[in-house]
């Protein structure tokens, strides 16, 4: 096959546009002898792409190095370089790289991160008029459509990043986070259509439009399968015997299912009512212990969903930093860091 005529968009649909263009221009400049040499090596597609990048950059490029995390996403998930690479290879983290300009405003989809429980998307919004200063109080109006017509999310949140993370200018990062109604292992496709940048409002009343236009993005999101632990064992949590049935773990979230009757005891102990959306602190995952004894403390644990169903209590939460699932040996819950062993 002629490598120069190969449809690299079909071969690598997840690769950013700028990488496609780099590969195409590189292959165009290679002589036939070099291209055929790559073909005879019979490596996989990623190696062929890396070879093309090597010709451009003069250095070895791995698949994970093609996809670079945005700094804002790094800060949100507190992922080190090795964890970033792992999440890219597992397709939990994906670069979007779609750019649309209209009405004096440029929107760029930068990165998405998703598993079976939650979703995160990062955009950059830039006004052509530099006198327009985008603050955390501004907002983007948008709608989301799904091919099958159903909404997989029980909750969506969105906002421009605050001033501690980015200085005020005509350009600002915009984040969308979602919590799935039911944990799903199927890939997700969504269309996000932005319609306007609006000014800061007052007293919960939205401000008027600053710039209007049409910016539509199609995001194809891969969903990872969690590691599922069948526990079915009693653990002492806040002084109560609690039967933990299952734990599902991904690098960015956790799902714990316990016997409803036992959780009712914890409710009484804490003086709360989970039927009224109170939070059960004694089941907060405040740390992860690894097999070597290292404890990863959770400083920004975020509860996503919690509730009773069919005699069980299930809590889903997102970690404040990326964890290494393969090394996890126990969840540490509550202020007393009671342990739930992972077999």
Q: What is the CATH number of domain 227-341?
A: 2.60.40
Tokens of 65: 């190095």
Q: Distance of CA 329 to CAs 43, 79, 159, 258, 292, Å?
A: 37, 20, 35, 18, 9
pLDDT digits (tens, 9 = 90+) for 189-212: 899 999 999 999 776 666 789 999
Q: What is the CATH number of domain 71-221?
A: 2.60.40.1630
pLDDT digits (tens, 9 = 90+) for 37-61: 333 333 344 434 444 444 444 444 4
pLDDT digits (tens, 9 = 90+) for 303-321: 888 999 999 999 999 998 8
Could you tell me where in the chain the CATH 2.60.40.1630 domains are found? 71-221
Going by C-beta distance under 8 Å and a sequence separation of 6 or more, which residues neighbour residue 333?
237, 282, 283, 284, 285, 286, 339, 340
Mean pLDDT of 150-156: 85
- The pTM score is 0.76
Under the banding of pLDDT at 50, 70 and 90, the label for residue 216 is: very high
Cβ atoms of 175 and 161 closer than 8 Å: yes
């Amino acid at each position: 096959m002629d490598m120069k005529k190969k449809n690299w968009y079909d071969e690598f649909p997840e690769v950013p546009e700028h990488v496609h263009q780099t590969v195409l221009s590189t292959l165009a400049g290679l002589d036939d002898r070099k291209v055929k040499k790559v073909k005879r090596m019979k490596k996989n597609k990623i190696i062929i792409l890396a070879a093309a990048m090597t010709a451009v950059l003069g250095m070895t490029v791995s698949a994970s190095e093609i996809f670079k995390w945005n700094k804002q996403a790094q800060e949100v998930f507190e992922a080190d370089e090795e964890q970033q690479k792992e999440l890219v290879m597992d397709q939990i983290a994906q670069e979007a790289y779609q750019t649309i300009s209209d009405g004096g405003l440029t929107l760029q989809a930068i990165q998405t991160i998703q598993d079976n429980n939650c979703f995160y998307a990062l955009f950059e919004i830039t006004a052509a008029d530099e006198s327009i200063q985008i603050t955390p109080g501004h907002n983007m109006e948008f709608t989301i459509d799904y091919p099958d017509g159903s909404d997989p999310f029980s909750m969506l949140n969105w906002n421009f990043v605050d001033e501690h993370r980015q200085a005020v200018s005509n350009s600002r990062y915009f984040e969308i986070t979602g919590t799935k109604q039911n944990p799903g292992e199927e890939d997700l496709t969504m269309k996000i259509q932005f319609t306007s940048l609006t000014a800061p409002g007052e007293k919960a009343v939205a401000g008027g439009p600053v710039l209007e236009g049409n910016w539509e993005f199609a995001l194809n999101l891969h969903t990872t399968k969690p590691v599922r632990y069948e526990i079915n064992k009693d653990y002492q949590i806040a002084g109560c015997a609690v039967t933990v049935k299952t734990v599902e773990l991904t690098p960015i979230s956790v799902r714990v299912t316990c016997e409803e009757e036992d959780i009712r005891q914890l409710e009484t102990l804490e003086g709360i009512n989970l039927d009224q959306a109170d939070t059960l602190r004694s089941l907060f995952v405040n740390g992860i212990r690894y097999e070597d004894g290292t404890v990863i403390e959770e400083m920004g644990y975020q509860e996503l969903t919690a509730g009773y169903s069919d005699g069980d209590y299930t809590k889903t939460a997102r970690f404040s930093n990326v964890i290494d699932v393969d090394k996890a040996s126990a969840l540490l819950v509550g202020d007393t860091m009671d342990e739930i062993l992972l077999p």
